[in-house]
């Protein structure tokens, strides 16, 4: 999750979506399985990103977007960066 220190990325996407899903025990599938989001919080300010990760119980966080994207086990990239930054991402 890139850009989670911004207003929309934090409130709408991280807190109201990912954190809420995690607090409910994940997404329940029709076969009874559950999918639990395991995000990597990515931002430019290590202190802010680390504080958010700690506050919401998220283990993985970084300021290195390239490193986060390099992990082949992580298959979804969510970008909440400013509109002007999105084309390059």
Whether the per-residue pLDDT at 4 is higher than 70: the answer is yes
> What dihedral do alpha carbons 19, 21, 22, 26 form, nearest 10°?
-160
Task: Report the Cα 3 to chain-centroid distance in Å.
Answer: 8
Mean pLDDT taken over the chain: 90
Whether the per-residue pLDDT at 82 is higher than 80: the answer is no
The pTM score is: 0.84
Confidence tier at 28 by pLDDT (50, 70, 90): very high
Whether the per-residue pLDDT at 29 is higher than 70: the answer is yes
Strand 60-62 to strand 40-42: parallel, antiparallel, or no bridges (unpaired)?
Answer: parallel
Whether the per-residue pLDDT at 85 is higher than 90: the answer is no
Whether the per-residue pLDDT at 60 is higher than 80: the answer is yes
Contact (Cβ atoms closer than 8 angstroms) between residue 53 and residue 60: yes
Could you tell me the two tokens for 42? Answer: 């990515």
Q: Of all residues in the chain, what percent carry a pLDDT higher than 70?
A: 90
CATH number of 7-70: 3.40.50.720
């Amino acid at each position: 999750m890139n850009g989670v220190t911004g207003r929309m990325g934090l409130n709408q996407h991280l807190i109201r979506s990912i954190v809420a899903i995690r607090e409910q025990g994940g997404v329940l599938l029709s076969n009874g399985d559950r999918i639990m989001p395991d995000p990597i919080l990515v931002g430019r300010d290590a202190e802010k990103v680390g504080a958010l990760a700690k506050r919401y119980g998220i283990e993985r966080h970084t300021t290195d977007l390239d490193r986060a994207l390099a992990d082949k086990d992580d298959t979804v990239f969510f970008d909440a960066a400013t509109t002007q930054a999105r084309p390059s991402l």
